[in-house]
Amino acid sequence: MTSNSTPHPLAEVADQFSLHRPKLFAIAYRSMGSPWAADDVVQETWIRLQRADIAAVDNLEAWLTTVTSRVCIDLIRRDAARREDLRWSASAEETAAEEALEGQPADSAVLKVDLSAALAIVLDTLGPLERLALVLHDFFALTYNDIAPIVDRTPIATRQLASRARARLRRVDVTSVQHRQESAITAFLSAAREGDFGGLLQLLDPEIELRSDPMAVGLARAGAEFGAPLLDREIAGADAVARVFNGRAQATRLVHIDGVPAAAYLVDGAPRAIYWFRFAYGRVVSVDVLADETILACLDIMV
């Protein structure tokens, strides 16, 4: 920390934050598994930055990474009812880590494409510390020494957190899951375009939730007469969601976002809105539609 605490004008603070925003969003997105939640995390980080003494921060990128990661941890702990039991004491976890790693070779990172797809599949089974240790190390190349203070563990315990998460990811048959999801999304889009209402209902969970950001709602309303889905901010239930898409979504195509099957509304080959699907028991349980250009710019969308 430095001793100079001269206040920075808000505009300068905003400029500095904007430079790091894509990385912060990427950390939050991969850790939370939802662009909505990731955007909430980044907004909270921005609020905390405005309250901080920036002149006393030596490395703003590291500070923002730490704050973003800790906000993720707090939100995951608050909301993840299915997370693993995290009530170990730090000393117990560190002892277990040392025993597990004794004589073991160093972990090798999973290929990023496979990691992205597998992470989306098993994310809800990982505790918040496992998620962050894996994401920060395998995606953003932080060392375990750098990650340790973020997750409040020793470096060796941090390495074990990532190792446990990575072991679960390696058990996922990524190709098989991707194929099933691609087939389901293709069937969904085909049923929508053909006006196959019954076919849509068969693909949707009875309690499905459809959420759209304001930009997506505006884009859809402007194109409603040309076959755009009849979006609203929140729609629930298979019957209501099927009516939104029935006979529509003509310009929406299968894409991959960070290796995960999704859909996108394309204009001249460029995505203007994305459709993020979540599955359970072979059916679509939620669809998030986003057209916020700031968020789209942070995603790796393969058309």
Q: Which residues pair with 276 in a beta bridge?
A: 288
Nearest alpha carbon to residue 241 among 205, 216, 215: 205
148/86 Cα distance (integer angstroms):
16
Where would I find the H helices in the chain? 10-32, 35-51, 60-79, 90-101, 112-122, 128-134, 144-151, 155-170, 174-194, 197-203, 214-222, 238-245, 293-296
Residue 184 domain flag: yes
Answer yes or no: do 254 and 184 share one domain. yes
Q: Which of 27, 47, 79 is the last residue of a domain?
A: 79
Q: What burial class does residue 15 get, using C-beta atoms within 10 Å of its C-beta: 0-12 exposed, 13-18 middle, 19+ buried?
A: exposed
Residue 236 domain flag: yes
Which residue bears the tokens 């004794």?
102
CATH number at 238 reads 3.10.450.50
Q: Give me 99's structure tokens.
A: 């025993």
What pLDDT score was predicted for residue 295?
87
Residue 46 domain flag: yes
Residue 269 domain flag: yes
What predicted TM-score, i.e. pTM, was given to this entire model?
Answer: 0.76
Grouping H, G, I as helix, E, B as strand and the rest as coil, residue 136 is helix
Answer yes or no: do 133 and 225 share one domain. no
What pLDDT score was predicted for residue 265?
95
CATH number at 37 reads 1.10.1740
Answer yes or no: do 185 and 275 share one domain. yes
Answer yes or no: do 185 and 252 share one domain. yes
Q: Which of 141, 170, 199 is the last residue of a domain?
A: 170
* Torsion from C-alpha of 156, 117, 45, 133, nearest 10 degrees: 0
10-32 and 35-51 are packed helices; what angle lies between their axes, rounded to 10 degrees? 150
Residues of the chain with pLDDT under 50: 1-5, 81-106, 109
Answer yes or no: do 133 and 184 share one domain. no
Q: Which of 149, 170, 191 is the last residue of a domain?
A: 170
What pLDDT score was predicted for residue 76?
86
Residue 66 domain flag: yes
Answer yes or no: do 156 and 211 share one domain. no
Residue 246 domain flag: yes
Answer yes or no: do 148 and 259 share one domain. no
Q: What is the pLDDT of residues 57-116, one digit of tens each?
A: 889 999 999 999 999 998 888 865 444 443 333 344 334 433 343 334 445 545 566 677
Q: How many structural domains comprise the chain?
A: 3
Residue 40 domain flag: yes
Answer yes or no: do 46 and 149 share one domain. no
Look up residue 62 and give its DSSP letter. Answer: H
Determine the structural domain holding residue 58 and report its residue range. Answer: 10-79
Answer yes or no: do 235 and 124 share one domain. no
What pLDDT score was predicted for residue 96?
42
Answer yes or no: do 233 and 293 share one domain. yes
What pLDDT score was predicted for residue 93?
39
Answer yes or no: do 179 and 147 share one domain. no
Answer yes or no: do 228 and 158 share one domain. no
Residue 85 domain flag: no
